[in-house]
Structure 1
């Protein structure tokens, strides 16, 4: 069975009993190429459960805490960490789960297969890329013309004001509109001279 999880029912039906899910009897074969999880599901009565690794599995795998208290209705996850670096052949071993001071046990026969090539990731992956993002259009134009971006923006706003004033003067076609257009042109010219100085 190729999986990354094994479930053991604790005290289902009567005290001091363990039952492997998806298994015949008290033994299960499990094939993995990476770490997996043992799930302990509590039923009628609480129990103390001990987990241990035997055989070749004890050399490449570890369990942080071997002893667990499983209450009724509890679901306890036990990570089984496998360090498969350098494993180039099958490794066989057992994960044994015990309760009732060792009077009841189930065994999971674990076969660790060599995984795909591992990619080493160093801390530089977390650092942002050194490539600078492309600057906005206004900054590119201002650097090409060697003009401050603020000055360029004010100049563009001035040209927009002259365009609006010109359209207004042409639409109204009165001497007052032409005087207003002249005032806008003079104002923009004076602002431009002050910015460039």
Structure 2
């Protein structure tokens, strides 16, 4: 049962920092999810640049329609949620990161086709659901009497990871175009994968 916090706002903030310091599993679960979110946002930060150039020269209407491919992620959310307990958090992170890396590979090798991007986006969303839902489920159930505070830590880290991915994607696009974006996306996902592999406190 969730217990409402009874202290002052200052004490609430201090309790957040206390959980953050005392629970490396929550820190690292949030971080590996945030890194994958950064990889995810690399795609959306630069997809319009890619599709507006050769060989597509796509207009805003076509670029906007690509967002509909993200429906795949929404449709798989409930399925992934059911498998968190069956497969376990660590295994779902391996699966999710692997799917994200495969999606980047498809969007690199087939970067001059709409099919490559449609398949890549759909796989990216599925992989992202695996990573986000497994980690968020874990952190929310790890401290049941402070789920809102733990979720604050998770979402703050998550969006910092997203901001990092967006920044790096823009920076590398400037110098290496789509190849640079793919490098950033795969690199962030690989770091997340390495955290899962070597951090002993993680499930």
| TM bracket (short chain) | under 0.3
Larger helix proportion, structure 1 or 2?
Answer: 2
Higher strand proportion (structure 1 or 2)? 1
Higher relative contact order (CA 8 A, sep 6+): 2
Which structure has the larger Rg?
1
